Structure 1
Amino acid sequence: MKILHGISLDVQSGESLGLVGPSGSGKSSLLMLMGGLERASSGHVRALGQDLTTMNEDQLARFRRGNMGIVFQSFHLIPTMTALENVATPLELAGHDDAFDRAREELRAVGLEDRGDHYPSQMSGGEQQRVALARASAPRPKILLADEPTGNLDGANGAAIIDLLFGLRDRHGATLVLVTHAPELADRCDRVVHLRDGRIEETSAEAVA
């Protein structure tokens, strides 16, 4: 069964793009294709001048490690690692000698410098999402992808995560693509793409708050 149909979408460097639409419209599937986490049955997905559809799994993993940060709704922190270790892990895998120093810097950026030695089970949902944001931004990716980053949070924590997400984007100059049902999050984007039944229904420019 085809999920997406006739999608043609260009995202400019440094742009913030919101993907919105009803449940089942293909938003998350499109984001996963853009991140090389799913494979397209036809067509091409190009990022930073490279064709992701021609890469094998190892090549895709290396490309993501060097160029992308991904934030999921469900955090996906490693439960047996502290916050500091979670944030340092992608830096260590990339061979950075200063992995833990950079991880501490990112935890400070999300207001969790005093929670570095805590495990995910010892933190609230909002704190866990902050750690996930710090982990995604620590390698200073050129592309930041977020799938419903406020979906599991209450209003106050969701608003804080929105501010942090765009703050990290501005800090590193990354291109931001996010899936959301939250109008207040979509309104912060430079452009919003509306999907329905696997197709782009409309595209609109939004005023950045």
Structure 2
Amino acid sequence: MTDTAISLDNVSLRLRGNAGPVDILHGITLDVTQGETLGLIGPSGSGKSSLLMLMGGLETATAGKITALGTDITHLNEDALARFRRDNMGIVFQSFHLIPTMTALENVATPLELANIPDAFERAQAELDAVGLGTRAGHYPSQLSGGEQQRVALARASAPRPKLLLADEPTGNLDETTGAAIMDLLFSLRDRHGATLIMVTHSPELAQRCDRTIRLRDGRIEATE
């Protein structure tokens, strides 16, 4: 069995813009080892989030090959990609993306129910307990602070016990103190479930806690640190 969690082979991404095609990523080749924590860093517009979206199957590569957990996801259709993400990935966004009409407990339980896990609500409650929000399970997102909403998003991402945990600026919308608490939670969830963690960050403190960082500039890998 391979010890590579994600492999990118000469991957490029071109998107359509108002003025015509825009080249976002150019010939990215990268291997991420299972259990590794990788930080994607670089200036705004360097392609960090686009690279993470490719790894998560949320964008489709224009060229090259992406292999995740031994599966070539490059040309999977939307349904197959959705199933692959459901079974293998947890994704945390900067803007939380909670469902406003659902309570914290229901938000966390949703991916478990979609995966037909029988004890979905029990596991969801355990995940909320793990991020310190056990007593807020019945609250809706509008009743929670930004830090609490991100905790719910972390619990939702980790509840299915994914092999891959992808985070796009997980502390970007939070103040320094709250961001530090979320950072600690993110790493504790990684350790608890043994996941491979790949994150986009502008935070030097967060980058320093990664096993390795990849610096991007103008859609290319500029350095590995």
Query: Structures share a fold, TM > 0.5?
Result: yes
Residue pairs, 1:121-136, within 5 angstroms: 121-136=142-157
Using CA pairs below 8 Å that are at least 6 residues apart, which structure has the higher relative contact order? 1
Match of residue 5 from structure 1: 26
Q: Assess if the C-alpha contact under 8 Å between 2:88 and 2:162 holds in 1.
A: yes
Match of residue 215 from structure 2: 194
> Runs in 1 of length 4+ with deviation above 3 angstroms?
none
Find the partner of 2:51 among 23, 30, 52.
Answer: 30
Find the partner of 1:180 among 201, 218, 221.
Answer: 201
Partner secondary structure for residue 28 of structure 2: coil
The residue identity in structure 2 corresponding to 1:153 is: L
Partner secondary structure for residue 6 of structure 1: strand
What is the TM-score when the length of structure 1 is the normalising length?
0.97
Find the partner of 2:127 among 102, 106, 115.
Answer: 106
| Residue 202 (structure 1) shift | 0.3
The residue identity in structure 2 corresponding to 1:198 is: G
Equivalents in 2 of 1:138, 1:157: separation in Å? 21
Deviations 1:67-119 (A, max 9, x none): 00000000000000000000000000000110000000000110000000000
Q: Assess if the C-alpha contact under 8 Å between 2:39 and 2:207 holds in 1.
A: yes
- Is 1:72 equivalent to 2:96 in the alignment? no
- Is 1:39 equivalent to 2:60 in the alignment? yes
Could you say which structure has the higher strand fraction?
2
Question: What root-mean-square deviation, in Å, do the aligned CA atoms of Structure 1 and Structure 2 show?
Answer: 0.4
Equivalents in 2 of 1:39, 1:58: separation in Å? 14
The residue identity in structure 2 corresponding to 1:33 is: L
| Residue 6 (structure 1) shift | 1.3
Match of residue 164 from structure 2: 143
Number of paired residues?
Answer: 204
Match of residue 70 from structure 2: 49
Match of residue 157 from structure 1: 178
| Residue 2 (structure 1) shift | 1.2
Equivalents in 2 of 1:2, 1:45: separation in Å? 18
Equivalents in 1 of 2:81, 2:27: separation in Å? 23
The residue identity in structure 1 corresponding to 2:125 is: R
The residue identity in structure 1 corresponding to 2:39 is: G
What is the TM-score when the length of structure 2 is the normalising length?
0.90
Partner secondary structure for residue 24 of structure 2: coil
Partner secondary structure for residue 178 of structure 2: helix
Deviations 1:143-177 (A, max 9, x none): 00000000000001000000000000000000000
Find the partner of 2:79 among 58, 61, 69.
Answer: 58
The residue identity in structure 2 corresponding to 1:185 is: L
- Is 1:96 equivalent to 2:133 in the alignment? no
Find the partner of 1:18 among 27, 39, 54.
Answer: 39
Match of residue 141 from structure 2: 120
Match of residue 16 from structure 2: none
How much identity, in percent, do the aligned residues show? Answer: 77
Q: Assess if the C-alpha contact under 8 Å between 2:27 and 2:64 holds in 1.
A: no
| Residue 54 (structure 1) shift | 2.1
